Every structure is written in structure tokens, then in C-alpha cells.
Chain A
Amino acid sequence: MKLLQKIGLIIFIIGITVFTFSPFIGSYKVTNDILKSTLSEQQYANLSEKLKEKLVGKRFSYTWEISSVFVNEYEFKNETFKNKHEWDKVMHDNPQDIALSITKSSATGFYINNILLFFLISFGFGVLGAIMYFLPDVILLGPPGIKNNNIYRRPSTNRGLIAYFVFAYLIGFYILLYFYPAQLTNQILLVNPLSLLLNGHPASRWFLYGVLYCTVMLTMAVRMYIKYRHNKYQIVRTTSVLFFQVAFAFLIPELLIRFNQPSMDFKNAWPLNYSFFFDWNINNLLNSGAIGAFMLFWGIVLTLIIVPVFSYFYGKRWYCSWVCGCGGLAETLGDPYRQHSNKTLKAWKFERWIVHGVLVFAIIMTAAALYTFFTNENTLLGIETYSIQKAYGFLIGSIFAGVIGTGFYPIFGNRVWCRFGCPLAAYMGIIQRFKSRFRITTNGGQCISCGNCSTYCEQGIDVRWYAQRGENIIRASCVGCGVCSAVCPRGVLKLENGPEENRIIENPIIIGNDGIKLNL
């Protein structure tokens, strides 16, 4: 069994190594046709002369040789136009995106000709190896039950070297994905055949991200199913997040593209889906006939009715740990790191400021965007509304949700984004705290203050603080993952939905001591 695990690990490492180092095994040849087809007329007019001289007809081994030339040229030209006040010639696209289009089309040689083989070696080996690594746990972990054995004795899960390596790897990946996508050309090409099959278009970087997201979640879900095979709540919940990720976040949007419809993730509610009320999106939906109108209607209903009503009945867990993609990744890929969330009072205070701050930021940004949509005025109180959107997209959408949100898993726990950054979580948290039927009930006087609940709370809630006082846990940040209840050795915690009456216990007494009848 241990041998099988070791072989699995080796196969996995081969897979991820091929994936990671694929940029070093390609070759690229830029032609004039490629420039013509990837650049707009204006861009072609501005740039083709220099690009022909520096790029066309040459063979390159690395994408950055092409992208750096292109981006430099692009920015140099724009500078020149600006200095000359030739505003009509200034180009407004993201040069990194265009560079990616060029490099994707320029791939040639052994790598691109054997792309299916490389897909199998990278994705196939990665998944196969990981599953070979997880499956023996059915036997190795012993009889079903909570097996957090040695989590704090392993460098991978106790902030050791391996954890820091994963930390750096994830951060590196997100930075390339968001800001230097051309460097991921060969990884994107891996999923090109799949993209053509699903949506009929070549793979974009977001298609690669979608495939990776689903693959990682599916693979890590195998681990969850084995680890929590005694706990039906965890099994059902994991199945639910998987379904919503694969079907709603990935397949349906891709198929919508195939049928020339606007793409939409129907479960992604504003304000997590922060661009929903941007003018380009509303216009796009309004111009897409009945289905577009329905999407607009659905998006509004989702945020204004479904989210609060469901949060009232079930707490925010219905979304955060049953439906949400961010939550889904956190609960699968992030599960080995859930113990690293900070439980101090200081962290809780910080959390309340920052997560509600992001919610306010999202509301202001959206209000400004709607102002622009309805009035066609581009500035509000002297600020360009578009610049607010851009700032939010960069700071919150990319850095916070992506780079920090996932990159920080191995060191700061798996819910950094959900706890500190997600505006939708903040919105639902307010409902959960003040008007909801959800609570974690504490079972009388059975708590022994051991601390397993607090340690494994991914949201950094000091669950024990409440449990040892005989108090129910009603916290805005609780995503209802159910792990506190699972790891409790004395059966003290139960997630449940019930009447609001007595949900919050003001002055709990711990039952069992008949001498004490009042908590004064």
C-alpha cells in the first residue's frame, strides 16, 4: 500500500513537472498572417512594421522572447502617440492579452504536434498519480473516523518547507495567469482540443483555469471522500460543491458560448460576481434577446431574493460550502490546510473591518457603474467610474481573490478570501448573524475544551469559546462546513436549522450543576 502511494507520488510529480516546465519545450514561429489575424486593424497599422522586423519569420524557443518584444513595442508606440498628442492612435487593449494570442497561434513543432500526448502526461499523470496516492488511505488510515494524525508533524501541513514551496508555486501561477498569460501559452495549448470540443473556440487562459479548477477539485474530492467516509454531511456537501463547479461554473458557460449565447455562471451571485452590473455586461445581456434578458433578471433575483431567503433558512453555508466555487476549492484543495486560520481575537477584529470594507467597496463601485450605465456620465464626483472598476478588479478580483485567496492556502489556511475578502460572504454573514434559522448547537455541558473544533475551523472562529460556555455558535463568518462537529471527540456540536427563538443564548448556564440556576 505504501509502495502504491510512493509510485503514485512519483507519477504525480512527473505530471506536474511536465505541466510546469512545458514552456521550455516549445518552439514558436510568428508569421505575418498571425499578426493580421490576432491584431486589430489599428494595432496592425501601428505595430506591424517593427514587429515584422523583430518577430516575423524567426523561430523562438520561449514565449517571453515574443511577448517582451511585443509589449515593449506596444508601450513604446503608445508613449510616442501620447507625447505627440495623437490620441486617436493610442491603443487601449491589454498588450499581455494580445501577446498571448500571438504566441498561441505561433506554436509549432514537436510540442504542438503531440499536444494530446502532453495533455495525457501532464493532466493524466497528475490525476492518476494523485488518486494512486489517495486511494490506499482507505486501508492505511484504518477504520473510518477522524484521522488528523500527524498533521502537525508533517512539513507539508505544518508550514514546513513543502508548504512554503506550494505557497510560492500557487502565487507564481496566479501572477502569470492574471498578469503575464503569454508565459502560460503551452499550458493553455494543452487544453485547446478540449476547448474546441466544448465551446468551439481555441482555449483562453480562463478555459485553462476552468479545466484546472475542475480537475483539482475532482481529484482532491477523492481525498475528501476517503477522509470523511464516515461522515455523510461531508460526503453530500462535497458532492454538491463538485456538481455546482463542474456543471454551473464550467460546462454550462462553455456550452452557452458554443451556442453563441452570453456566457454566465448562474450560481455566481453579485457582489462576488462583481462585474455583473458593469455596463458592458448589461448591454451584452440586453442585446442577447430573451435569454440575455432572463440572465439579467436571474442575476438580480439571485442577489436580492434567493441569497437572503436561503441564508435565512439554512445560513450562508448553503452557498459557501455547498455551491460556491471558491468555497469548493477551499474545501477540496484547501482541506489539508484548514488548521492554519488565525483564531486570535485580533484576527477577528481585522476580519470584520476588512470583509465589510470590501463589501462597501463593491457597493460603491457597482453604484458608480450603474450611474454610468443609466446616465452615460463617465465621472461621478470627479472620479472616473471605470477607474473604480479597474481598481476593484485588480485589487480584489485578481490579487485578493486569486493570488492571496488561493496562494495563501498552505500558510494562512484555506479560507483567507472567504473570510477576509468575499463581499458576498459579508452580505450573507450579516443575514446569518441577525436573521437566520441556522446555528451550531452546543450539547449541554459535554464540552471538554480540547480545542479540536477551533483548531480545524477554517474560518478562524474560536468555536471552543462558545462550546465550553454552553453557548450556541452564531457567527457571521461561519460557512457551515461541519468540520467542527466532525472533529469533536465528545459529540458536542450540531449544525442545524430551527426556530429563531432561543437561537442566541445570552447568558448560558452549563447544565449538569443543579447548584447553579442562573448565570449572574
Chain B
Amino acid sequence: MPSWIHKPSWVHKPTRKIVLLVTGAIALVLFGALGAAVVLLSGAYSTAATTQHFKITHRLLDAGLRYSVRASASDIQAPILDEPHKYEQGAACYRLHCAQCHGAPGIAPDEEGRGMLPIASNLAQSAREWPAEWLYYVTKKGVRMSGMPAWEFRMSEESLWSTVAFLTRLPSLTRAEYAQLSQYSAQLECESAEGAEMQASEDRTKIVFRQYACHSCHRIEGVVGPKSYVGPALVEWSHRKYLAGTLPNNEENLVRFILDPQAVRPHSLMPKLEVAPAHARQMARYLLELE
């Protein structure tokens, strides 16, 4: 160190400085945690859908979404999308699954979509500003804590891309053109995820449970969710002798029951969830491995 630099006194006592810094940091964290606890336990934080975020929070969340989607979609390569059969089929998917919350040219979102917080994006704008790969990623995976579901469990891979093909045309459609396309697409089907490719892994199975909303009624070992007591808890399941009160508990019966509960027990309150057979098997295997 050149001699003309004045050495402050603490340079000679590095330990003291570190102790001070660390103590300060800990105090700050504790103080923050205490403040957060007070806000949480007092009920001062509003969870009402009428209470908007602060502007800065909203902008930060928006930016966070964009950075996250950009990073996650970086390996995706869009196929050729500008083909009539693709965007026509996509229009069918859009009319069936998207317009309810996102609206369409000249058409407002449905009642369910209007009061949401955050509000569903107007996709004519998203499609102008976002590359197709990002649109695909968000459609496929959904957006956490926003109400946007993951469509990969409800639409085939082909339908996902068709929907994106439609989205890329959306900004250029007038009200009349949309109406015409939508009317034409009414005769087309949006292919469900039934034939979608399944990769079985433990993490993937947990996602599958959540994507069929199983955890809204069942507490499932290893799956984070609400403390629900609507259906039986799916814990230590391999020890259960019976399922649905009467059937021997094994893989085949579990699959049967998951696919069509009323075929097994007509009065069961468990609804039919249109579970893809491969997914039902994945679920059954997972449950039967629970010790």
C-alpha cells in the first residue's frame, strides 16, 4: 500500500470490524423477521383480490416473469408455425381454453377472468412482444401464483404448438376476422393430453398428482399442498388392505379406481378426473411404494 493512503484505524483491527459487521447483519435479519412476523400475525397483509400490489412490486414481478421465462425457454426451438391447419386448430384450443380469461379481439374475458389478480394478460400484446418459444413455455408450464394452469397436462404437444401458432396471428386479427376464424374452428377439436409423452420419475409423479388437483382433497405423502380432509390421506399407502372401502389394495385396482371411481363405487364422492391411463399407473405405483 502506498504511503500516501491514510490508513483508517480499523485496518489494524480486522477482527473487530468483522465482528461488528456480522452482528449488524444478524440484527438486521432478526429485525426483518420480527417485522414480517408482526405483519403476518396481525393480519395486516391483505389477501383480497381487490387489493393490488404496489406499483413497484407489480413491475418487479413482471420483470421476474420475463427473465424466468427467457431462461427456461432458451433451449426450445419453435417448429414452422405459419401454416393454416396449425393456427386453425390453435383457434379451436384458444376458444375452448384461453378466451375465458384472456378474452379475444372484440371479446371480453368471462366473469371468472375479469376479477382476477393478477389479471390475465391480453395475449394480442404478449404475442406481439414475446417470441413463440416463450409463449409455448408459458402455455405449457403455466405461471405459479397467477391462476395460469400448465396446459401440458390438458393439451397434446401438437395442440400446444397449434395454440402458439394461433397466438402469433392474434395481434393481426380484426374483430371480424377473429369471429370468422373462431366460427370455422368450432368444428375442430383441441386434442387433449391423453396421448402426450410421459416420463415417469418421482418428481414428475408429484407434478402429475398436483396437475389433476388430487391434493385439493387428499393429503399425499411427499406432495406439498393444503391440509385437506375431504378424501382419505394417501400416506403409508402400501400398508392399506382395502381401497375405496372394499377393493383389495393393489396396482390394478388403484388404476381402475383412479380412472373411473363410479364404475367401482357408484356413490363415491371422488369425481372422474379424466386421468390419462399412463398417469393413473404412475400415481398407483407411487402410492404403493409409500411405506
Query: Are A and B associated in one complex?
Result: no
Q: Which residues of B contact A (CB under 8 A)?
A: none
